[in-house]
Amino acid sequence: MTCPKLFPRAGRIVFLAACCFIGMLWIWPSIFSIHRGAAAASPQTAAEIPLNETVRAVWNSGLYKESVGSTKIYWLDNDTIVVSANNGPKPVTSQQRQAAEIWLYLWRLGQKPQPYGADPHGAALGYCAARGEISYIIDAVDPRTGAKSRTRWLGPPGHEHQVPPWTTSAVGEARNPPSIDRADCEIYADPAMAGKVYVTDSERRFYLDFGDEPLLAAVNVKPTQSIVMMRADGSGRTPLPITNATASPGSTHFHTFDGVFYLWNGSLAASPVNDFAIWRDTKCWPIWRIDPQTAKSERVCIPFGPWSGINSAASLALAPTKAGLFFSSRSINAKDESGFYRLENGTVSRILRGHIVHPVVSPSGCRVAFIHMPTIDSYGAYSPVSSSIVAIDVCSPDPGAPRSSN
């Protein structure tokens, strides 16, 4: 593969807790100086994840990602991850913060992640990976004129070729979440679904029709609509016992390892509807498992508990695997209860403590990759507590596979 070499650009990192630490500069300057010096002197490492009856293997990339809101983790195959991260450890000085860049990395489990592409920083601007192919967008610069042009590359690693750029005005575009199991890195659009919000499976054989686009729904006075399972050709329309008020397209999963959709609403809030009160009163936060072949639905409940938060915003993410159903919970008030949980026979158990961000399941359904933050302090500028992108195996381990990797 031949790609144009780009001029590097300075990266900017947004810190969630910046204002708190600025305040500390005014109140406790001497304490802050000591704290920063200690951070600079000690290596940045993520907390170790122990092996147990559920976590059968652990791989620690050593990659640090501060701006977690923009992180996209993709499984290229069952053993390889494509992700963007800092081009070094967590910055511990303002100079390091200014010099930090986000690079694209190819990480084969059991090996050290490698920067990817002729320009890893440029390739991190827009990328994805699935089924053995990687795609990224880079801004090529003409060395003679200095003119920039956006180019997109797609193909197996090391064999990408330039392809037409993505279009942003596709009519009837599917709203598939970017980190869910996908067939390829293309934007899929069906003109017959124009004006509808829908999600597809990896083979584009079935659609989940969530109803009219929000603006059309408002005009047609249809704020709540039943979700419909249908084939891609429009046949076999079957209304499901689920509405677009209780499940969202952004939280919908399709996984090839079991060939079913998982529907739920992963965004919880106290306003305008108090989701926590509903969860507490009903003792159930519902998840639906839908077989597209039969449109049969199975309802599963996450019971209310410490992982639910305390009348505040919480973020939940679903991770269905071959070994069972897992979810992560990041709560503001109940931060000590944040972690990665297993739901089994209606019982919830925490298997990993800390803030788990963007859990993504491998095509085999056995491995889950995510950002692991041991505590909320992992977000802090200059904090000695770091985070790392890790992967775990929740199935029986392959005797020849490495048990862990740093």
pLDDT tens digit string along 111-121? 999 999 889 99
Task: Confirm if 388 and 60 have CB atoms less than 8 A apart.
Answer: yes
Read off the pLDDT of residues 274-306 as tens digits, 9 standing for 90 and up. 888 888 899 999 999 999 999 999 999 999 988
Domain ranges (residues) in the chain: 18-22+43-405
- Local mean pLDDT, 10-residue blocks, the chain (406 residues): 36 34 34 32 56 92 79 91 91 83 95 94 89 88 85 92 76 70 70 92 91 67 81 96 88 89 83 81 94 94 85 77 92 71 94 89 94 77 80 76 48
Q: What is the pLDDT of residue 309?
A: 73
CB atoms within 10 A of CB 198: 23
Q: What whole-number distance in Å separates Cα of residue 120 and Cα of residue 364?
A: 28
pLDDT at 60: 94
Residues 216-237: pLDDT tens digits? Answer: 555 555 567 899 999 999 999 9
Distance, in Å, from the CA atom of 133 to the CA atom of 77, rounded to the nearest integer, reads 9
For residue 321, give Cα distances in angstroms to 60, 61, 256, 364, 399: 20, 21, 11, 8, 20
- Best CA proximity match to 366, nearest among 63, 110, 57, 60: 57
Confirm whether pTM is higher than 0.85: no
CATH label, 18-22+43-405, candidates 2.60.120, 3.30.70, 2.40.50, 2.130.10: 2.130.10
Smallest CA-to-CA distance from 64 within 93, 101, 33 is with: 101
- b/e per residue, 95-112, with b = 16+ CB within 10 A? eebeebbbbbbbbbbeee
pLDDT value at residue 386: 79
What whole-number distance in Å separates Cα of residue 335 and Cα of residue 310? 10
Element (H, E) at 349: strand 347-353
